[in-house]
Amino acid sequence: MSVPDWMHILKATVLPKPPGGARLKGLGILIGVVIAAAAIFALMHTLKNIDYNEVFAVVRRTNTSLIVLAAMLVTTSYLSLTLYDLLALRTIGRADVPYRIAALASFTSYPISHGVGAVSLVSPAIRYRIYSCNGLGVIDVANICFLTGLTFWLGNLTALGFGLLYAPNAISVIDYLPPQVNRWVAAALLLAVVGFLVWSWLSPRSIGTRRWPVRLPSGPMVLLQIVIGIFDMGAAALAMYVLIPPELHIGIFPVTAVFIAATLLGFASHSPAGIGVFDATILIGLGGDDKEPLIAALLMFRVLYHFLPFVLALGLFGAVEGWRSLRARRSLASARRDLTSVS
């Protein structure tokens, strides 16, 4: 990657911030550190006296068909993630960019950026490398990153709201709030999403500055974003659910509610793949006295949802970069031969 490319990427990640943006970013980092520290402390306490031989025994006893089903659900989740980029491209008026490019940008940027824990830097960098070859500039890539993030939060907050309504007790173990208060929080989340949907449906909306204008999706597109976001997170939560041994008697709604809370907390902590935070939230929210089966399910899910996509995405992005570099060298060599023949 050349120096000019890196300059463009840095511009994409440090676009003009609103007044007070630096303070908000600093507050976000502080909150992330606090979340990560609290989660690691809780995880260390939870993992005391764990029989790891029993954990691996549970993994070995898990039916292969369940692992295959979980892998199919994870694949479904990642396929729905590709629609995040496709919707963002349509919103900014770039319907000419084909789906395969959107899918490539999505599948490489999400696993890699979340895997290294630097989403705000790595994700725009990877997307710029892919989309710049299709005529998109720095502002376009920044808008895509914003809109895909909007889809993520709309879908997750909606799913979390429904999960809190149906399983408020599961989250009470995590946030120490009474179930009724969690239901009020759920109602507030769902009302906020509905309010945003209505607001965007009434007329075309845009935010940002003159230097960085952001065109918001229309009402129907927002509704589609919510549906896709719920589908994505639902497929991932269901993959976790099928890996949990049935003898634990954990229902789908508690799993979904705790899974989404764990995902959001892991995202807020900025730790690579939510390590420590995601795991502690799952074990505290769903775990009982017998934690070995749940840890086994968590390990299998980690491999299917985080490790394998991370490795595949790295390999795919490396292959694309290598192919582009080879093509550029061949073009340069061909141009030199043409100049030599002319002279």
How does pLDDT run across 249-301, given as a tens digit for each residue? 888 888 888 898 888 888 877 777 777 788 888 888 887 667 888 989 999 99
Count of other CB atoms within 10 angstroms of residue 186: 22
Residue that wins the pLDDT comparison between 101 and 50:
101
pLDDT of residue 280: 83
pLDDT at 207: 78
The mean pLDDT value of the chain amounts to 82
pLDDT(119) > 60? yes
Rounded Cα distance between 254 and 46, Å, is 19
- The torsion angles phi and psi of 291, rounded to 5 degrees, stand at -90, -15
pLDDT of res. 43: 60
Which ranges of the chain does DSSP label H, i.e. alpha helix? 3-13, 21-46, 52-61, 64-91, 99-116, 119-131, 138-166, 168-175, 179-202, 219-243, 252-269, 277-286, 292-302, 308-342
341 band by pLDDT with thresholds 50, 70 and 90:
low
Contact indicator for 124, 147 with CB cutoff of 8 Å = no
Q: In 3D, which of 127, 130, 173 has the Cα closest to residue 282? A: 173
| Strands (DSSP E) found in 125-196 | none
Q: How far apart are CA 197 and CA 193, in angstroms?
A: 6
- The answer to whether the pTM exceeds 0.85 is no
Domain boundaries, the chain: 3-10+27-342
Confidence category of residue 191, pLDDT binned at 50, 70, 90: very high
Predicted pLDDT at 170: 79
The full length of the chain comes to 343
**Banded model confidence at residue 315, pLDDT cuts 50, 70, 90:** very high
Task: Indicate whether 72 pLDDT > 60.
Answer: yes
Q: Which of 32-41, 113-122, 207-216 has the highest mean predicted lDDT (pLDDT)?
A: 113-122
Predicted confidence band of residue 238 (pLDDT cuts 50, 70, 90):
very high
In this prediction, residue 97 has a pLDDT band, given cuts at 50, 70 and 90, of very high
pLDDT computed for residue 267 by the predictor:
81
The pLDDT of residue 15 is above 50: no
